Amino acid sequence: MQTQNQSIRLSKCRQVDTLITDYPPPMVRQARHERPFGSVLSNGLFGFIQRAILLVAAIVLVAACGSKAKEDALPAGSQILALGDSLTAGAGVASEEAWPDLLANRTGWVVINGGVSGDTSSDALRRLPALLEQHNPVLVLVALGGNDMLRHIPQAETIANLEQILAMIKAHGAKPVLLATPKPSVAGAVFQNLSAAEFYRQIADEYDVPLIEEAIADVLSDPQMKGDPLHPNAAGHAQLSQNIFDALKSIGYAVE
């Protein structure tokens, strides 16, 4: 389902296709055959300028195809729900050291820590209606899927759960943001290069939801940021909070 912005961008993209596939325009092609030989030099200059103008227009329109307006900044006091598992709950650190509390301190938002250690996407899906009803958040940060992958839950089931979570958030009138969890990888841990599971990008694109793709993976790739093989320590949560804040600032929700 396309949004109005997507429709505008698609229209602009079609204009680019027209510029590229129908160049030069029919009137110019016809005029070329009617020009006398003596005007070759001036016509060549005219053609060069015309091509340059069309090239600049095409570049501008292509850039517009990939652009997206920022979201409105959320003021201090806004209710934000962080829905997740132990990475959100702050396993191994004090509650005030976990990234939701740190994000609240940075932004002035009221960030509800809705993380439960051990939760899978289906567990969080069952908890979500009560959380939405109780807290009525304007923004929900969804950081789930890690336990699904560790327990080898079929990926299709995880995707379906996350899609239902995003749809439920939108139906409640809140804005969702998806945070990707890195896929389990021995090589990624050894070489300190964990990366997000690919299905997060698929879901984010399909549901037109902002994706914070590498915030968690970057922290868990650094042994100095981890309290155990799966969880950030206090320094890791501080860095994770910074990563998430920077991403939310790029999206438009957060401001310095």
Specify whether 135 is catalytic.
no
SS3 91: coil
Q: Could you say which of 86, 121, 221, 241 is catalytic? A: 86
Question: Exposed e or buried b for every residue in 79-109, given b needs 16+ CB within 10 A?
Answer: bbbbbbbbbbbbbbbeeebbbbbbbbebbeb
Specify whether 42 is catalytic.
no
Specify whether 86 is catalytic.
yes
Q: For strand 226-228 and strand 231-232, is the pairing parallel, antiparallel, or unpaired? A: antiparallel
Q: Could you say which of 218, 231, 237, 241 is catalytic? A: 231
How many other C-beta atoms lie within 10 A of the C-beta of residue 13? 15
Q: Could you say which of 33, 72, 152, 228 is catalytic? A: 228
Between CA 195 and CA 57 the distance in angstroms is: 37
**Residues in contact with 90: Cβ distance below 8 Å, sequence separation at least 6, in sequence order:** 97, 98, 99, 100, 101, 113, 115, 237
Question: Exposed e or buried b for every residue in 183-192, given b needs 16+ CB within 10 A?
Answer: beeeebbeee
SS3 89: helix
State the catalytic residues.
Answer: 86, 228, 231
